[in-house]
Structures are given as structure tokens and as C-alpha cells.
Chains A and B, each alone.
Chain A
Amino acid sequence: DTEVTQTPKHLVMGMTNKKSLKCEQHMGHRAMYWYKQKAKKPPELMFVYSYEKLSINESVPSRFSPECPNSSLLNLHLHALQPEDSALYLCASSQDAVSRNIQYFGAGTRLSVL
């Protein structure tokens, strides 16, 4: 089973709202990732968690706040977003955060910021 589950599938929020994206995997993976993908562009890495610790933050604005409550769950808390933050947000997981490992992706959350 190589399933990564993301909820919600779609989200519309205003610029003053607070919302959260959720990601779950039950493959025993110890690395989890958040990516942002704009239309017709490749995914861009936002955050990497390795063994539940934040290991990479690719200079993401503080209005995006990641959280890894346990090895199976990854959240992305959103606050005071801008319309340009509208994108597909993808979660991925891998056995651990080394280059040989395959990253398995969820179906993503399509976010629209009004």
C-alpha cells in the first residue's frame, strides 16, 4: 500500500481565515514533505520533516506553519494567506529523507484564496 491521503481535496478561504491541510500515511515512512504547485509548473518544495523534526524550510512565509504531530500525520496551518497562495498543495512521504528513496504523493489540496 503506497497511499498518502490528503484532506480536504478542495478549499476556498478568505484572506483573514485560518485553515489547516492534513496529510496521513500508514507506510511507516519517517520523512514527510509539503510541496506547492502552481498551474503549469513543477512542484516546489516547502518543508521537509524527518523523524518528526523539521529539517528543511525553503524560506516559506510564516503564514504557512507546518506541524508533524506524529510519524503518520503532517499538517499545514494557513493564516492570512494572499491570493497568490492559491495553488495545489501536495504532501509526500518517503522511507526517510535520503536521495535514493521514492517519494509517494497524495492527490493534493486545491486551495483558492479569495
Chain B
Amino acid sequence: AQKVTQAQTEISVVEKEDVTLDCVYETRDTTYYLFWYKQPPSGELVFLIRRNSFDEQNEISGRYSWNFQKSTSSFNFTITASQVVDSAVYFCALSSLTGANNLFFGTGTRLTVIP
């Protein structure tokens, strides 16, 4: 079974603080893909990153960074020096062959950055 858990329902930070969004996944597949999407109030889901199960290198893109650890089945997302524009709901998602290639979403974390 495919499952994604985002235990943090809502997080509030003050602008310029760093914040980490947690994501824990479950799958029996050895090949799978993990994604993060951002959903601002406008509603569109914006793709942020894809990681495959064989690539455990951390990734940094500007103020965003991702920490993938297969040993703990986690794919955490850190925003450095948060900005008001980062306020959104962030979804972690998993896709794999035995999941019929569907995208299984976590329940999302609502991030509010306070100016």
C-alpha cells in the first residue's frame, strides 16, 4: 500500500525564519518517486521537485532544500529565510508502479509566514 504522512497540519513562522516541512512515506516498491507541490490560495498546484528512490542526494534550489533519507522513509522540505509569498499549502506525494502510477498525496501542511 502507498501512504504519505504529513504530520504537521499547520505551521506559522515569522518572516525570515527557517521552516522544515516533514514527509514520511510507505511503499513496498523499490522504485518509486517522491514529489513536493505548492498550492497557493489561487488553487493551482505548483510542482517543486521530483526525487527517485535511487537518488538520495540532497537538493538545494535557492531558498528551498530537500532531505531524502530512505533509512527513515522521509523526504523533508526546508525553506530558508521564509517570505510571505511562501504562505501556501504544501503537499508531499508518492508515485510507484504498484500504485498504478497514481499520485498519492499527503494531507498537506498549511504554512503561514507572518510579516
A56–B103 Cα gap in the complex (Å)? Answer: 13
Q: Is A49 positioned at the interface, with any CB of B under 8 Å from its CB?
A: no
> How many residues on A have C-beta within 8 angstroms of the other chain's C-beta atoms?
23
Q: Is B71 positioned at the interface, with any CB of A under 8 Å from its CB?
A: no
Closest to B98 in A: A99
- The answer to whether A56 and B108 have CB atoms under 8 Å apart is no
Residues of the B chain whose Cβ atoms lie less than 8 Å from the Cβ of A41: 107-108
Closest to A107 in B: B44
Residues of the B chain whose Cβ atoms lie less than 8 Å from the Cβ of A106: 44
Report how many A-B pairs have Cβ atoms within 8 Å: 53
The range of chain B's interface size is 20 to 34
Stretch at the interface among B18-26, B45-53, B58-66, B72-80: B45-53
Residues of the A chain whose Cβ atoms lie less than 8 Å from the Cβ of B95: 99-100
> Smallest distance from the beta carbon of B90 to chain A beta carbons, Å?
11
- The answer to whether A42 and B101 have CB atoms under 8 Å apart is no
- Interface of chain A residues 33 through 49 with chain B (CB within 8 A): 40-43, 45, 48
- The answer to whether A100 and B33 have CB atoms under 8 Å apart is yes
Residues of the B chain whose Cβ atoms lie less than 8 Å from the Cβ of A92: 45
Q: Is B57 positioned at the interface, with any CB of A under 8 Å from its CB?
A: no
- Interface of chain A residues 41 through 63 with chain B (CB within 8 A): 41-43, 45, 48, 56
- Interface of chain A residues 1 through 60 with chain B (CB within 8 A): 2, 40-43, 45, 48, 56
